[in-house]
Amino acid sequence: MINVYSWPTPNGHKVHIMLEECGLHLGRDWQAIPVNIGTGDQFKPEFLAISPNNKIPALVDPVGPDGQPISVFESGAILLYLAAKTGKLLPKTDRLKFQVLQWLMFQMGGVGPMIGQTHHFRQYAPEKIDYAIKRYTNETKRLYGVMDKQLSTHAFIACDEYSIADIAIFPWLRNWENHGIDWADYPHLKKWFDLISERPAVQRGVKVLAELRRPITDDKAREVLFGKTQYEKR
């Protein structure tokens, strides 16, 4: 049984969706172990032992590539690990594989971090800082524009095959209402978004642990995620 240490956030959803897309089923092949990032589970020594950056998701597979147990953190690395393990969702030819990898990196280095900041300054920051809201909202709109343009000539984000790049990006756009986005400006991206939303494995994946999610409004969660606890030296 693969253990996924996770929480119902975009980075957690990527892995839940990937497992289901690969034909690995929740309860049979894998289980989700909740790491409540609002109460500080991510700082427990046993979690830090597999995820030293104190972030979900992390995966522990009792049967790694050499038959020995393996743990992997960073959602992009986990998607690559599962693609290698199952032979799915990463094209075999180098040309297509690198197309997918570049869009995966685009998500990991751009879409995730930037939309994360947009969300932070629009939703969570205790003061409304106009400069930060504009800076990250504009950057988010720019990234939506890049994806819209790419999807005007490709069926999926990296190429004409569904891949781990689509799985990495999709969960980050589910919160589009909080990103200052008008879908009318991104028709190709909207079409892709609707198509991915309809996939049964995606629908199963986004439900995993969903009942545990709480809005980050209490002082404890803010302190853990954005205050003293987050920045303690460990």
Ligand X SMILES: N[C@@H](CCC(=O)N[C@@H](CS)C(=O)NCC(=O)O)C(=O)O
Stretch that binds ligand X, among 19-27, 70-78, 80-88, 118-126 (CB under 6 A): 70-78
Terminal Cα-to-Cα distance of the chain (whole angstroms): 31
- Identify residue 132 by its one-letter amino acid code: A
One residue of 24, 47, 55, 157 binding ligand X per CB under 6 A: 55
Site size for ligand X (CB under 6 A): 15
Q: How far is CA 102 from CA 67, 109, 165, 176, in A?
A: 30, 10, 8, 23
Nearest to ligand X of 76, 205 (CB atom): 76
- Identify residue 169 by its one-letter amino acid code: I
Bridge partner residues of 33 (DSSP):
5
> Cβ 70 to ligand X, closest distance in Å?
16
One residue of 48, 74, 154, 195 binding ligand X per CB under 6 A: 74
One residue of 37, 90, 157, 159 binding ligand X per CB under 6 A: 37
Confirm if 24 and 83 have CB atoms less than 8 A apart.
Answer: no
> Cβ 58 to ligand X, closest distance in Å?
8
One residue of 4, 17, 18, 56 binding ligand X per CB under 6 A: 56
> Cβ 67 to ligand X, closest distance in Å?
26
Stretch that binds ligand X, among 55-63, 95-103, 135-143, 197-205 (CB under 6 A): 55-63
* 42 part of the interface to ligand X, by CB under 6 A: yes
* 190 part of the interface to ligand X, by CB under 6 A: no
One residue of 2, 96, 133, 225 binding ligand X per CB under 6 A: 225
> Cβ 152 to ligand X, closest distance in Å?
27
Nearest to ligand X of 56, 143 (CB atom): 56
What is the distance between the alpha carbons of residues 32 and 211, in angstroms, rounded to a whole number? 13
One residue of 5, 16, 18, 54 binding ligand X per CB under 6 A: 54
Nearest to ligand X of 10, 150 (CB atom): 10
Bridge partner residues of 59 (DSSP):
4, 72
What is the distance between the alpha carbons of residues 8 and 41, in angstroms, rounded to a whole number? 14
Q: Collapsing DSSP states into helix, strand and coil, what is residue 129? A: coil
What is the distance between the alpha carbons of residues 143 and 197, in angstroms, rounded to a whole number? 20
Of 7-26, binders to ligand X (CB under 6 A) are: 9-11
Provide the H-helix boundaries in 22-163: 45-48, 75-86, 94-106, 112-119, 130-151
For residue 75 the two structure tokens come to: 């959602």
Write down how long the chain is. Answer: 234
Q: Catalog residues that contact ligand X under the rule CB under 6 A.
A: 9-11, 37, 42, 54-57, 74-76, 112, 225, 230
